[in-house]
Structure 1
Amino acid sequence: MMCHKGADLSFLVNNPKYSDLTILCEDEKKLHGCRAILAARSEVFDRLLYNGMKESYDNQVSFPKINSAGMEIVLEYIYTGSIKEESLTKDNTVEAFYAADYFQLSDLQDCITKIVKNSNLINNYSPELLSKVSETMPLTEDNVLLNSLVEAVAIIPLNNIEFGRLSIIGLKNLLSITYEKEMPFATREYEVFRYSAILAAKQVSNDTYKTLMERLPTLEQMENSIIVENMIITDRQKVAKELEPLVKFIDFKRINTQILADIIEPLEIVLDKIISNAYRYVALLNNLNLSDIRGKSINENRYIWDEIACGSKLIIEDNGKTVQAPNGCSYQNVRTKVALENKGIFTWDVIIERTCGCAWVGVCASENLDYEVFAGYQPTGWVLGSSGNCYYSNKVLYNYCPPFEVDGARITVHIDMNKRTCAFTVNGTKY
């Protein structure tokens, strides 16, 4: 992917031969630029370099709050009018977005956000990027990168995010932006508290972290009647202080009162008033139908294989989460219950656990697909095969990607309904 605008002057980027200005960055790295080009492409540079003040005559300008990694992306965009997808990494994306904001390059910010949303950055590093953008930039409603990262992390169960990937401030932004909002959210509220408390304990000490891990079972452990030891938390006041910024964005009234009484209250890391208010809400309103998950819960019934949109020989198992093609079933199709709206960008993974031959993954229309006939021969199905070829309406795009081993393969389907385009990632490489 590339965001593009304007003439390509890539040979001039950071080229001392054609530069008359040295740019000193926060990390003391020096970059090179041409003041006329910088001023022509950025009003901020124009005001700085042609204001009649000291900077107008010096051959060096300093930006003590801009990292060189971010400045390099700004220079690439200013000179070439574009940024390549491979230019952005988990280590420079936030710095680049911050620098683009500083230089009031809104088009560059849009480019960065689009690349992040359509690349493996958001699939693989959204907790880390959310943490970094939360620590780097203020919380504002119009921060499109922050909002995109919150949406991405919100649909990941917090129990699946290793402690250390999401910072306290990153978690705070996640919880504050999704609090009492109708946004898709994957984590039940007790697990939100559990993750928050353990993360807070991790800031105090490793011993406190280990104690909280043992004192706070997951809901699955509770269902399996795993006994929790009543260990003493020696630093509970410190944990309570670390947890304080998060507590106001945890909806305790959504947590089962038995769990509040047996698990959370004895920890003494949440104010009694907050716990009692949760009890009072349930007692006075008798609202037994309040969901134990905030926002729009991610309805797993939408993310399963559809038995009524399935070839007759295919076998759907595990409550719709897996589909099996027995030997000799030939070409058969099955689709999920997820429907894509007319607008928006959609990404999902299909994991091929095991196969005896070839496998095909793709997208189809919700109507007029024959599930007994190969989807690639039909005008309403687009599929990528393990051979590396793409099929649609009996047309073939050979060598879309190299052939891949199907056992354990992870295929990511990217659909842009705004542009009406489709792309695939195979085992982490996007084509």
Structure 2
Amino acid sequence: MSHALPSHDPRAIWTIAIPAMATNVATALMGIADIWIIGQLGDAAAQGAVEIGARLLMSLLVVFNFLKTATTGLTAQAVGQRNEIEKMAALLRASAIALVIGLLLLATKWLTVPVGLDLLEASGGVRDDAARYIDIRFWAAPAWLLNAALVGWLIGLRRVRAVLAIEVAINLLHVGLGVLFVLGWGWGIVGIAFATLISETGKLALLLLALLPSAKPDALFAAARHRGLWQTGPMGSLFRVNRDLFLRTLLLTFAILLVTRQGAVQGSVILAANAILFQMFMLTALLLDGFENAAQVLCGETIGAQDRSGFDKTVRGILLRGIGTALVLTAIFALASGPIVGSFSTDPEVVATVRRYDIWLLALPLAGVASFVMDGVFVGATWTRAMLVTMAAAFVAYGAMLWLTVSLGNHGLWLSFTIFLLIRAAGQFLLTPRLAARTFAPITGEK
């Protein structure tokens, strides 16, 4: 990594954050394109079915997003320590775990899908269409999990531009297939599902090719033969990190599912409107997650190198740039949210409903930016237990707010979600000084 900018160099933040933002936007295009394409049919029920199907399937998968986040943090720490064997071991361990989880998900599909549709209050034609969508797209689950592990490893090596190139190519393919299958050939929801299945498989093939410059066969074989690969110490640390991230992501997924469920309870029009609003929120979140990616890598490197001064400068620098970007996003929504969200449906009632609630798009970027950045700091530092604790506290507060604001209807839902984001960030800020003091203590202790 001698060619890379030092972790505490402010330019290093943008070197990682900008390609990561572009990568995340390209990733978001899958969900946004699906909602937009199906919206051109002018069928609120079909749009709601895609929302429920995609939300359920992604909820099953996103809880395993630790395959990306943990791999990024552990790889970055190995880079900071200049430990080549551990760098390769991070890739092998994550890939093996991804394969096992993928096979288990396929084996339990018959149980998880009906239960999930029940939890989301899906019924009638919406339920039938959502089930058809999931039945096709589910076969991409193992590829999605492997992709998460491979992307995490590449980001940990600062190879964000390679990930960006792959995401752009695959999402162009996805959009093209979606338009062809749905608007060209009239396949409807089935066409959206097949477009995603083909795209995820193609992404896996491109990521495997991208690994070759950094994961040469001889280096991988050396790591595979190393006696520490599957030993209790490294594996125990990996499972501790993954367990905490899994539980934390599970809580976050439940919080997001509550947004979908509360929309479904209010009818197909509110469900479709909330699907559009949520896609806009996810677009801003994925843009701001560029700073989370930068924090994962740069904070991981400074901790691997035991550089406390660099760590403090990195956290401050990323927070300032993240808040500035959130202000820009809020300004864009203030000026143009109406035309943007209105383009996602040809149903006048859905469009009018979206515009009734799009004021929340002004609050969400500013409410979420600090928690996104601090997520990256905590992952890079592997402070995953503290991350789980702050998420649990925020989730409890979120549930209480949903109950207290029920009389406000859909406004109460979005108010509760906004407060959920703010409480997460507050908890992380409170814990950071103590965690940093312990991590950088002269005598090495458990983080």
Structure with the bigger percentage of helix: 2
TM-score by length of 2: 0.20
Point out which structure has higher relative CO (alpha carbons under 8 A, 6+ apart).
2
Structure with the bigger percentage of strand: 1
TM-score by length of 1: 0.21
> Which has the higher Rg, Structure 1 or Structure 2?
1
